[in-house]
Amino acid sequence: MSGTTPANPAVAVGRPATSVPDPMGGRPAPTNRVTTSSRAKKTLSTRVGSAVALVIAVLWTLPTAGLLITSVRPEGQIRSTGWWTFFSDPAFTLDNYREVVFGRASSGALANFFMNSLTITVPATVIPLVLAIMAAYAFSVLQWKGRDTVFVLVFALQIVPLQMALIPLLRIFSGTAVAEAFPFLSIWVAHSIFALPLAVFLLHNFMAEVPRELIEAARVDGAGHVTLFFRIMLPLLVPAIASFAIFQFLWVWNDLLVGLTFSGGNNQIQPLTARLSEMAGSRGQDWHLLTSGAFVSMIVPLVVFFALQKYFVRGLLAGSVKG
């Protein structure tokens, strides 16, 4: 996930719906009662509008298409001609992928880094999610003194740039025996901490929407907090949890700063992004490796994105638009 954070205090938050409407869908255009002359004008302006939209759409997709096409062309052709010649002179190969994923260390050996990214991302998504759901429960269901003050403080922590916490956090871990034995630990912890403020805020917003009567009724029936949490809150929160899980997964998978800082250049834990960024500098002209490598790093987020786009967009909208 590229670094846009959807949350903001700016607005009331969407109701947690149990069924998920598709936020990417359109709505039928309203019917118009118009005269013929204005219809002609309208058609013209619609034409221009559609043309502009088409230009934007092309500009936004062509670079990625070029990368994909280049990644399956033979190296010699990539070096000598532009990727658009692929259509007049098609030559297809998967050699670039073979080389960049399984080849020598100097050409990337991305298989190892792909595993690193996966190893980093799964716990760094699950851990903050669970902790945030629990904390959100404490901020929305439990009644205690100073609750709102602490909540505002947690929310405000979102404005602390990662750069502010990196060096001291790194020092807490460096040189400890635990960090030696479990090299991924520091990355997991760092990602989990940095995700918490936003996660707590978003999930709290969803939980606050749950009717109090429902909670009171359960309490009167003798449900303890644990029962209430697992039996009533969790099922209601599934869409919100899905939204944040996707968001966090994309964020961690695509992160460079934390991965680079906390792996300290160690190939045993460096994520894909760090390796690719390094290759862009050291092998800047080897486009057959850079294009296929970039695509290898993009496959997982793109699949997640297109398969779960609905939930992802709902998560983005939850922090900002009523709906």
Partner 1 sequence: MDFFLYSKIGQMVLALLAFAAVVAVLMLGARVADRVAGRTRNLWALLVFAGPALLLLGVGLIYPAGRTIVMSFMDRRSEEWVALDNYAWVLNNPESLRAFINTFWWVILTPLVATVVGLLYAILIDGKRFEKVAKSLLFMPMAISFVGAGIIWKFVYEYRGAAQDQIGLLNAVLVAVGLEPVRFLQDGPWNTFFLIFVMIWVQAGFAMVLLSAAIKAIPTDIVEAARLDGVSPWQMFRSITVPSIRPTLVVVVTTISIATLKIFDITRTMTGARFGTQVLANQMYDQSFTFGNNGIGSATAVVIFVLVIPIIVYNVRQMLRNREVRGA
Q: Does residue 102 touch partner 1 according to CB under 8 A?
A: no
Q: Which of 202, 207, 291, 311 binds partner 1 (CB under 8 A)?
A: 291
- Non-local CB neighbours of 185 within 8 Å, separated by 6+ positions: 173, 178, 179
- Contact call for residues 136 and 207 (beta carbons, < 8 A): yes
With a CB cutoff of 8 Å and minimum separation 6, the contacts of 292 are 71, 72, 96, 97, 99, 100, 101
Which one of 135, 198, 240, 245 is in contact with partner 1 (CB under 8 A)?
Answer: 135
Contact letters for partner 1, residues 186-225 (x by CB under 8 A): --xxx-xxx-xx--x-----------------------xx
Which range of residues in 90-98, 102-110, 235-243, 288-296 is near partner 1 by CB under 8 A?
Answer: 288-296
- Residues recorded for the chain: 323
Query: Please, which of residues 235-264 interact with partner 1 by CB under 8 A?
Result: 250, 253-257, 260-261
Query: Degrees (nearest 5) of the Cα angle 168, 173, 175?
Result: 115
Nearer to partner 1, 102 or 182 (CB): 182
Distances (CA, A) of 200 to 111, 127, 235, 291: 34, 13, 17, 37
Interface positions, 34-93, toward partner 1 (CB under 8 A): 45, 49-50, 52-53, 56-57, 60-64, 66-67, 70, 78-84
Of 264-283, binders to partner 1 (CB under 8 A) are 273, 276-277, 280-281
Nearest approach, Cβ of residue 98 and partner 1 (Å) = 19
3-class DSSP string for 297-312: HHHHHHHHHHHCHHHH
Among 20, 109, 166, 208, binds partner 1 (CB under 8 A): 166
Distance of CA 104 to CAs 98, 110, 183, 195, Å?
10, 10, 24, 35
* Count of residues near partner 1 by CB under 8 A: 130
| 304 is a site residue for partner 1 (CB under 8 A) | yes
